[in-house]
Structure 1
Amino acid sequence: MHPSPATAPAAAVPPRGGRWLRRILIALAILIVAVVLIVLFFPWDVLRGPINRYVSEKTGRRFEITRHLDVKPGLRTARITLDGIEFDNPKWARDPLLVGADKAEIDIRIWPLLRKQVDIPRLMLSAPRIGLQMEEDGRKTWALEKGDDGEAGRGTTPRIGVLQVDGGHLDFLAKHLGVDMRVDFAFDTQKGDMPLSYQMKGRYQSQPLSAQGRTGNVLLLTQAGVPPFPFEIHATAGGTRLDATGSMAALTELDGVDAKVRLKGRNLGDLYRLIGVALPDTSPYQVEGRLLKTGKTWQAQQLAGKLGLSDIGGELQFEKGAARPKLSGKLASKVMDMDDLGPLIGLPPTERSAKAVEGVEAPATLEKTRRRGADVRVLPTAPLDFERLRAMDADVRYTAERIRNVREVPLQRGSVQVALKDGVLELKPLDLGVAGGSIQGAVRIDGSRNPADIRMALDVKALQLNQLIPKVESTKSSLGRLDGRINLAGQGTSVANWLGAASGDVAAMTGRGQFSNLLLEIAGLDGGEVLEFLLRGDKNVRMRCAALAFDVNKGVMNGRTLIFDTDDTLFTATGQASLKDETLDFVIRPQPKDKSILSLRTPLTVRGHFGDPRPGVEAAPLVARGAAALALGAINPLLALAATVETGPGEDADCAGALAEARRPESSEAAQAAERAKAVRR
Structure 2
Amino acid sequence: MRKLKWVLLAVIVIPIALAVTAYAIISTYSFDEVKAIAREEVRKATGRELVIDGPLDVSLSLSPAVTISDVRFANAESGSRENMATLERFELKVELLPLINGDIEVQELVLVGADILLETDESGAPNWQFSPPEAASGEGTETTADQARETGRQQMPNLQSVSIEDSQVTYRNGETGESTTLTLASATITGSGDLLDLELDGDYREAPFSFAGSVGGLDRLTGGGDYPVKLEGQLANADIGLNGNIISMTTDPRLDLQVSLEGESLAAFSDVSGTELPDLGPYSFDGHLEGEMASLSLNGMTLEMGESDLSGDLNLDTSGQRPRITGEVQSTLLDLADFQAGSGGSEDENGEGNGSDSESSTDSDYVIPDTQLPLDALQMVDAQLQASVSTLRVQPDTEMSDVEITLALADGKLDITPVRAGFSGGELGGGLSVDSSSQPPRLAVDMTMEDFDFGRLLRERGLTEDVEGTADITLDLEGNGNSPRALASSLNGRSEIVGGEGVITNRLLAIVSTGLSEIMGPLLGDSEQTRLNCVVSRFDFQDGVATSRAQLIDTTTFSVAGGGRIDLRDESLNMNFDTSTRQTALVSLAVPFNVRGTLKDPSFSPDPAGTVAAAAKLFGSDKDPEEILGSILSGGGSDGQAEEEENNPCLTALGQTEGQTQTSGDGQQSTAEDGSQVEDSAEGVADEVEEGIKGLLGD
Paired with 1:366 and 1:584, the residues of 2 have a C-alpha distance of 29
Residue type of the partner of 2:72?
A: F
Are residue 500 (structure 1) and residue 489 (structure 2) matched? Answer: yes
Describe the shift of the 1:668–1:198 C-alpha distance in structure 2 as closer, same or farther (beyond 3 A).
same
1:614 aligns with 601
Native 8 Å contact 1:284 1:353 kept in 2? no
Describe the shift of the 1:477–1:214 C-alpha distance in structure 2 as closer, same or farther (beyond 3 A).
closer
Paired with 1:158 and 1:566, the residues of 2 have a C-alpha distance of 83
1:17 aligns with none
C-alpha distance after superposition, 1:473-521 (max 9, x if no partner): 9555553x31122122233334443343332222211244454478679
| Residue 417 of structure 1: how far off its partner (Å) | 1.7
2:224 aligns with 224
1:195 aligns with 197
Helix, strand or coil: the match of 2:455? helix
Describe the shift of the 1:444–1:305 C-alpha distance in structure 2 as closer, same or farther (beyond 3 A).
same
1:457 aligns with 446
1:261 aligns with 260
Are residue 392 (structure 1) and residue 381 (structure 2) matched? Answer: yes
Native 8 Å contact 2:509 2:521 kept in 1? no
Q: Structure 1 length as normaliser, TM-score?
A: 0.62
Native 8 Å contact 2:662 2:669 kept in 1? no
Are residue 186 (structure 1) and residue 184 (structure 2) matched? Answer: no
| Residue 307 of structure 1: how far off its partner (Å) | 3.5
**Aligned partner (choices 345, 353, 366) of residue 350 of structure 1:** 345
Paired with 2:395 and 2:426, the residues of 1 have a C-alpha distance of 15
Residue type of the partner of 1:214?
A: A
2:310 aligns with 312
**Aligned partner (choices 122, 131, 140) of residue 115 of structure 2:** 131
Paired with 1:582 and 1:222, the residues of 2 have a C-alpha distance of 70
Gaps (5+ residues) in structure 2? 1-28, 59-65, 94-105, 131-148, 511-515, 611-627, 634-648, 671-699
| Residue 275 of structure 1: how far off its partner (Å) | 7.9
Mapping for residues 38-77 of structure 1, pairs under 5 Å: 46=33, 48=35, 63-64=51-52, 66-67=54-55
Mapping for residues 139-538 of structure 1, pairs under 5 Å: 157-159=127-129, 166-168=163-165, 169-170=167-168, 172=170, 182-187=183-188, 189=190, 195-201=197-203, 203=205, 208-216=206-214, 218=217, 223-236=223-236, 241=238, 243-249=240-246, 255-264=254-263, 266=265, 274=273, 283-284=280-281, 286-296=283-293, 297-320=295-318, 325-337=323-335, 339-340=337-338, 350-351=345-346, 364=354, 370=360, 373=363, 378-379=368-369, 381-386=371-376, 388-403=377-392, 409=398, 411-470=400-459, 476=466, 478-479=468-469, 481-516=470-505, 523=517, 525=519, 532-533=526-527, 538=528
1:605 aligns with 595
Helix, strand or coil: the match of 1:596? helix
Paired with 1:617 and 1:571, the residues of 2 have a C-alpha distance of 14
Helix, strand or coil: the match of 2:114? strand
Paired with 1:270 and 1:673, the residues of 2 have a C-alpha distance of 51
C-alpha distance after superposition, 1:550-604 (max 9, x if no partner): 2222333333322212343222343444444455554444333433358384515
Q: Percent identity?
A: 15
Moved more, 183-192 or 224-233: 183-192
Helix, strand or coil: the match of 1:216? strand
Paired with 1:371 and 1:509, the residues of 2 have a C-alpha distance of 30
Describe the shift of the 1:670–1:465 C-alpha distance in structure 2 as closer, same or farther (beyond 3 A).
same
C-alpha distance after superposition, 1:99-118 (max 9, x if no partner): 4440589xxxxxxxxxxxxx
Native 8 Å contact 2:230 2:244 kept in 1? yes
Aligned length: 536
Gaps (5+ residues) in structure 1? 1-41, 71-80, 106-121, 135-139, 144-151, 355-362, 624-647, 676-682
Paired with 2:285 and 2:434, the residues of 1 have a C-alpha distance of 31
Paired with 1:405 and 1:605, the residues of 2 have a C-alpha distance of 31
Are residue 569 (structure 1) and residue 547 (structure 2) matched? Answer: no
Native 8 Å contact 2:434 2:442 kept in 1? yes
Helix, strand or coil: the match of 2:667? helix
| Residue 170 of structure 1: how far off its partner (Å) | 0.5
Paired with 1:606 and 1:132, the residues of 2 have a C-alpha distance of 73
Residue type of the partner of 1:159?
A: Q
Helix, strand or coil: the match of 2:33? helix
Helix, strand or coil: the match of 1:170? strand
| Residue 127 of structure 1: how far off its partner (Å) | 0.9
Paired with 1:562 and 1:211, the residues of 2 have a C-alpha distance of 64
Native 8 Å contact 2:632 2:653 kept in 1? no
Describe the shift of the 1:249–1:376 C-alpha distance in structure 2 as closer, same or farther (beyond 3 A).
farther
C-alpha distance after superposition, 1:386-421 (max 9, x if no partner): 3x4334332222222134585675633322122223
